[in-house]
C-alpha cells in the first residue's frame, strides 16, 4: 500500500497549499506517539490505518500505537499529490498520508525510505 501511495504521489501534481497541513499531521502523530499519548496519536490515523493497527496488535488503537517502532520527529521532504502525500522525517521514517473527509490523516508510518526498486516496509499501513 505504501509503495502504491508513493508511486501515485510521483505521478500526480503537487498541491502546495496542503504542504503545511500534511507536515503538521505527520509531526503531530509522531509527537503524540513519542509521548506515549496513544489516544491523541490515533486521532491522526486514517480509518484504515486505525483498523489495521487494532487488528494486527489485537488491542485498541490507543494501546496498540504505543508498540510501534517509530523514528524521527521533524519533517524534511514533503510531497503532496492529489489525495496522497509523503513526508520524510529527518533522520527517521517516511510517513504516508491520505486526504479524508476529516482532513489529512496518516495511512502508513514507520516506513523505510523508498528504495524505488522494492516496496517500502512499514510498521503500520492500512
Question: Which residue has better confidence, 17 or 7?
Answer: 17
pTM for this prediction: 0.83
- Residue 36: CA atoms inside 13 Å, Cβ hemisphere, count? 0
Q: Which residue has the higher pLDDT, 5 or 78?
A: 78
pLDDT score of 6 more than 60:
no
Residue 117's CB is within 10 A of a number of other CB atoms, namely 5
Can you give the residue range of the structural domain that contains 112?
2-125
User: Are 20 and 93 a contacting pair, CB within 8 Å?
Assistant: no
> Which triple of cell numbers denotes residue 25?
499531521
Tens digits of per-residue pLDDT, 80-123? Answer: 988 999 999 998 899 999 999 999 999 999 998 665 555 778 99
The CATH number covering residue 61 comes to 3.10.450
Nearest CA to 84 among 93, 96, 76, 75?
96
Q: What is the reported pLDDT for 18?
A: 87
Tell me how many domains the chain contains: 1
Cα distance between residue 56 and residue 74, in whole Å:
27
d(CA 34, CA 66) in angstroms, rounded, equals: 8
Tell whether the model's pLDDT for residue 13 goes beyond 60: no
Angstrom distance (rounded) from CA 11 to CA 48: 23
Amino acid at each position: 500500500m505504501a509503495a502504491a501511495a508513493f508511486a501515485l504521489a510521483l505521478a500526480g501534481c503537487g498541491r502546495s497549499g496542503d504542504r503545511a497541513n500534511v507536515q503538521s499531521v505527520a509531526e503531530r502523530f509522531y509527537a503524540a506517539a513519542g509521548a506515549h499519548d496513544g489516544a491523541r496519536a490515533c486521532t491522526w490515523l486514517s480509518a484504515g490505518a486505525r483498523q489495521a493497527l487494532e487488528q494486527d496488535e489485537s488491542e485498541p488503537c490507543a494501546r496498540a500505537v504505543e508498540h510501534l517502532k517509530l523514528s524521527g520527529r521533524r519533517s524534511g521532504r514533503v510531497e503532496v499529490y492529489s489525495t496522497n502525500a509523503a513526508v520524510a522525517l529527518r533522520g527517521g521514517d517516511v510517513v504516508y498520508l491520505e486526504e479524508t473527509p476529516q482532513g489529512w490523516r496518516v495511512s502508513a508510518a514507520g516506513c523505510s525510505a523508498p528504495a524505488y526498486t522494492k516496496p517500502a516496509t512499514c510498521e503500520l499501513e492500512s
